[in-house]
Chains A and B, each alone.
Chain A
Amino acid sequence: GDSVTQMEGPVTLSEEAFLTINCTYTATGYPSLFWYVQYPGEGLQLLLKATKADDKGSNKGFEATYRKETTSFHLEKGSVQVSDSAVYFCAFEISSGSARQLTFGSGTQLTVLP
């Protein structure tokens, strides 16, 4: 069935380190891909998205490229900050579906130390 597999956490990095969180998906149809972020005590927020193959989503210094050939959407940031500490969720929705509900990965807890 449809699913998302993302790198298990927790991940702990020092400030200014390079971040990669791996995400692969299994989906029927034509998925749009997303990264959501949940900061401590806050709700889920959309971080970035890509709606077709080879698109690159970017926001707040984070990037992810839609790789159809490897069914991947890895999240990267060149220099993390303490304020990036949060839980990150990879997700997709099927564009052709009527509900277009999101299917999420299990989440990756990121802690950035000063």
Chain B
Amino acid sequence: GAGVSQSPSNKVTEKGKDVELRCDPISGHTALYWYRQSLGQGLEFLIYFQGNSAPDKSGLPSDRFSAERTGGSVSTLTIQRTQQEDSAVYLCASRRRGGSSYNEQFFGPGTRLTVL
């Protein structure tokens, strides 16, 4: 079956512009995560969705970052007024459900964001 997909694969933008990154999780996966992979910070957690709600936004680095998920499926990560330090690869992952028993997180290929 199809894996996690992300679009665009690459995005180059100018400082100060807004960008939207999209994630399509595996069908039926209720839990969705956004992570950021950058040279200075490594791989870091940004936000978690269970269904359409985001009970954990603790990793969002500033109020310029926001995310939403609609229909329990597609998620969009929005970065407003981008800064050069936002340049990174943004990864999305999904899993069948949250909860107490283990099930694997599956990662998408990522969106490489470059802020000039």
Contacts and interface: CB of A to CB of B under 8 A. Distances in A.
A100 B103 CA distance: 10
Interface residues of A, number: 22
Interface residues of B, number: 24
Main secondary structure of the interface of B (DSSP, over half): strand
Given A106-B42, A107-B42, A101 B100 contact: no
Contacts of B100: 95-96
Contact of B109 (A43, A98, A103): A43
B91 A101 contact: no
Contacts of A51: 102
B107 A44 contact: yes
Contacts of B91: 43-44
A104 B108 CA distance: 16
A35 B91 CA distance: 17
B109 A101 contact: no
Main secondary structure of the interface of A (DSSP, over half): loop
Interface string B81-114: 0000000000101000010101011011110000
Given A42-B109, A43-B107, A44-B107, A98 B45 contact: no
Interface in A71-114: 89, 91, 95-96, 98-107
B56 interface: yes
A3 B48 CA distance: 18
A113 B59 CA distance: 38
Interface of B: 4, 31, 33, 35, 42-45, 48, 50, 55-56, 59, 91, 93, 98, 100, 102, 104-105, 107-110
Interface of A: 32, 42-46, 49, 51, 89, 91, 95-96, 98-107
10 contacts: A32-B102, A49-B102, A99-B48, A100-B98, A101-B56, A101-B59, A102-B35, A105-B42, A106-B42, A107-B42
